[in-house]
Chains A and B, each alone.
Chain A
Amino acid sequence: MTISKTDGPRQLAWLTRLKRSVLLSSFGASPAAMLSAALITLFLLNAIFAPFLVPQDPSDLRSLNLTDSLKPPAWMADGVWGYPLGTDGQGRDILSAVMYGARTSLGFGLAALALASLLGIPIGLIAGYTGGFLDSVLMRVADTQLTFPPILIALLLDGIGRAVLSRSMQQSLQPLWVVLAIGVSLWPQFARLVRASTLVERGKDYILAARLVGVSRSRILALHILPNIGSPILVFAAINLSFAIVAEATLSFLGVGLPPTEPSLGTLIMTGNDFLLSGEWWMSLFPGLALMSLVMAINCLADSFQDRLHISPG
């Protein structure tokens, strides 16, 4: 008897599995899910092609024209079509800023998510598979951290970064530190989910069969368990992507996230916020709308996957 003949799903046909999986088949399901998928595609395309598409490069100071500062959106009385969504206090085009900002937000969200899964998934797999003392220690740590809302953890880590690093180092490392803070704040959720699914999977016959024929532990974890708990993890990752994006935006909005030299949507909203009360609403509203539609689209899509898979978060 060989492994491939055991009851368990095959190890290598990952792609075929994915193609046939509920995830993709649920696309046609609801108009909301389709709309969300379209929006997300739009954001992804924007992330790749923004530098070629923007009307004005916000980082290129020569293109700025101070006489064009604080223009309202084009459809309003003072607006011009050269700046469809208006300009900020230095004459920067809001549309361009939003396009670059969305790209930054998505990128940082993905990076933080990657870090969280890189930490959480292996820890969850090992804890779930080995059990015993290691498991209880790891889960105790996760539980203690889970007592706190992730955003507080991220803020705290951010603050620690400011205290530990010298000012110049802190400024140059800030983008990395933001990824670190958000990634670390999210790992326990991943670890818990992966551990729970691993526990279920570990008891199944095909894992037993693999163990009986002497497949190594790391191989079992990586090639047998991980692919079989893949779907819920993907959905969970999607939900947490929106969380990571919001977390980054929140940090930036609070002025402790990305520096104004590398503005994300959150940074744009923060700078725009100062102009809100004097009536220049477009500077914060448009980045805000972009952020909300990105996050809504991700949540909505994740929701419809989740309905299909019948899993609950956490």
Chain B
Amino acid sequence: MLAFAFSRALQAIPVVLVVGLIAFALFAYVGDPVLIMLGQEHTEAQRKLLVEQLGLDQPFYVQYVRYIWAVLHGQLGISYSFGRPVAQLIAGRLPATLELASVAAVFAVIPAIPLGLFSAIRPRNLLSRGILLVSLLGVSAPTFMIGLLLILGFSVALGWFPSFGRGQVVQVGRWWTTGLLTGSGLRAIVLPALTLGSVQMSFIVRLMRAEIIRALQADYIRFARARGLPERSLYCVHVCRNALLPVVTAAGLQLGNVLAFSVVTETVFQWPGLGLLFISAVRGADIPVMSAYLMLAGLGFVAINLSVDLAYHAIDPRLRIPHLGASSES
């Protein structure tokens, strides 16, 4: 297991380096940092000094290595629009996004698995058809539309939840601010988390349904029926575990999309997280923030892929190192 984790981590390094290269290229070559930092009015001497300070006169690979080194030390440059270190900006925004994403994941996964199971076992049931239709809506509808509809229903019409912001937050430790400990914070997170979770949930429901239907047709399930296993253990022990394998993989990989959708969700609800920071960077062509976000997202996705691999490895005995004997043909 450890050896497997290690080899997978090694395989991820090139991807991180390539992403780092692109982030660096963005940082160093897109736009003219000198122009942006000094403004139009500057002397040649000022320019030369800054170029030397930034190391822009060094060859490409030296700059790249320096950049990676700086990133590893948490130095991500200065934001053009905020005039503050990017690392500081990101650290301030990270808790909001992580809280949103986790609550959304809870909202998504907990109902999705039983719903998917039900709609697969009782395909003709009216509720199943309803589940299927709503999940099609969930995967098709753009995230921001779901957010708008939720605001329209629960904020404008019913007034139950606030339509923007994070509510009151409290400081926990040195780095973390949380909205999960205050009433207004809890109320504020409901709609954004529902929005962000809805895509994920619809996706899992549909995948779960498809995988269970497939597992039900497998020979070993037919055989398990013929062995006289009771329905409950048939579904819980055999069908579900087999169906969950691909669901875990795909849902895990979907987590990457949660980051993407968080950009949209945070814009709709003015949620002060990383996504909102990123979108303002895109609007304002704030390259240091964009390249730092790229770097961070790349690391995040690599980490997600890695943990999905490891999880898969843990559930599926076929991936563990085989003993003697024939391996599976398929």
Q: Judging by beta carbons under 8 Å apart, are B285 and A281 in contact? A: no
Q: Judging by beta carbons under 8 Å apart, are B263 and A155 in contact? A: yes
A147-B256, A163-B287 known; A299 vs B144 contact (CB < 8 Å): no
Question: Which DSSP category, helix, strand, loop or mixed, fits chain A's interface?
Answer: helix
A281–B148 Cα distance when bound, in Å, is 10
Q: Judging by beta carbons under 8 Å apart, are A269 and B155 in contact? A: no
Distance in angstroms from B145 CB to nearest chain A CB is 5
A147-B302, A149-B260, A256-B282 known; A159 vs B290 contact (CB < 8 Å): yes
A242–B268 Cα distance when bound, in Å, is 21
A221 at the interface (CB under 8 A from B): no
Q: Judging by beta carbons under 8 Å apart, are A149 and B259 in contact? A: yes
Q: Judging by beta carbons under 8 Å apart, are B151 and A276 in contact? A: yes
Residues of B126-142 contacting chain A, CB below 8 A: 136-137, 139-142
Q: Judging by beta carbons under 8 Å apart, are A152 and B260 in contact? A: yes
Which of the 9-residue segments A41-49, A203-211, A225-233, A284-292 touches chain B?
A: A284-292
A48–B163 Cα distance when bound, in Å, is 38
A151–B297 Cα distance when bound, in Å, is 13
Distance in angstroms from B26 CB to nearest chain A CB is 7
- B281 contact set on A, CB distance < 8 A: 159
Q: Which of B163, B263, B305 contacts A277 (CB 8 A)?
A: B163
Q: Judging by beta carbons under 8 Å apart, are A148 and B264 in contact? A: no
Distance in angstroms from A163 CB to nearest chain B CB is 4
Q: Judging by beta carbons under 8 Å apart, are B148 and A288 in contact? A: yes
Q: Judging by beta carbons under 8 Å apart, are B140 and A296 in contact? A: yes
Q: Which of A148, A159, A291 contacts B298 (CB 8 A)?
A: A148
- A242 contact set on B, CB distance < 8 A: 140
A147-B256, A256-B282, A285-B152 known; A156 vs B141 contact (CB < 8 Å): no
A93 at the interface (CB under 8 A from B): no
Q: Judging by beta carbons under 8 Å apart, are A292 and B140 in contact? A: yes
Distance in angstroms from A261 CB to nearest chain B CB is 17
Q: A162-B282, A300-B136 are in contact. List 9 more A-B contacts (CB 8 A).
A: A143-B15, A159-B281, A254-B264, A255-B283, A276-B151, A288-B148, A288-B149, A292-B142, A299-B139
Q: A residues bordering B, Cβ < 8 Å? A: 143-144, 147-149, 151-152, 155-156, 158-160, 162-164, 242, 246, 249-250, 253-256, 266, 269, 273, 276-277, 279, 281, 284-285, 288, 291-292, 295-296, 299-300, 303
Sampled A-B contacts (28; CB under 8 Å): A147-B298, A147-B301, A147-B305, A148-B298, A149-B260, A152-B297, A155-B279, A158-B282, A159-B283, A159-B285, A162-B282, A162-B284, A162-B285, A163-B30, A163-B31, A163-B287, A249-B142, A253-B144, A254-B267, A254-B279, A269-B148, A273-B268, A276-B151, A281-B152, A291-B145, A292-B141, A295-B141, A296-B140
Q: B residues bordering A, Cβ < 8 Å? A: 15, 18-19, 26, 30-31, 136-137, 139-145, 148-149, 151-152, 155-156, 163, 256-257, 259-261, 263-264, 267-268, 278-279, 281-287, 290, 294, 297-298, 301-302, 305
